[in-house]
Amino acid sequence: MRYGITSMEDALKDFMSKSRLKPRLTEVRIQENWEQLMGRTISRYTENLQLIDGKLHIVTTVAPLKQELSYSKDRIIKLVNEMLGEPVVREVIVR
């Protein structure tokens, strides 16, 4: 690589690390991969996922699923952060 020339991949990574869009794009990545991470049944009954300031908000109206997700918070944090490749999610809130 010549001096002053960067690859498109490096330029996009640099842009995304500085962009205001990064938290929203991270949220979309979590939503797109939710079924692969948690399985089809959990994904089907999960109504909404939001990432706000490192807190993953999971919304479901199924009481047993709420309880199961509450017990699995550490596992969810680990799975999501591994999928993203960086420690983005610090806390899980089930509503």
The answer to whether residue 40 is domain-embedded is: yes
Q: Is 81 left (phi over 0), alpha (psi -120 to 50) or beta?
A: alpha
* Cβ-contact 65, 39 below 8 angstroms: no
φ and ψ at residue 85, rounded to 5 degrees:
80, 10
The answer to whether residue 8 is domain-embedded is: no
The answer to whether residue 78 is domain-embedded is: yes
pLDDT band at 11 (very low <50, low <70, confident <90, very high): confident
Q: What is the CATH number of the domain that holds 57?
A: 3.30.300
pLDDT band at 2 (very low <50, low <70, confident <90, very high): low
- Between helix 73-84 and helix 63-71 the angle, nearest 10°, is 70
Structural domains of the chain, count: 1
Note the pTM of the prediction, 2 decimals: 0.81
| Domain boundaries, position 59 | 23-94
The answer to whether residue 11 is domain-embedded is: no
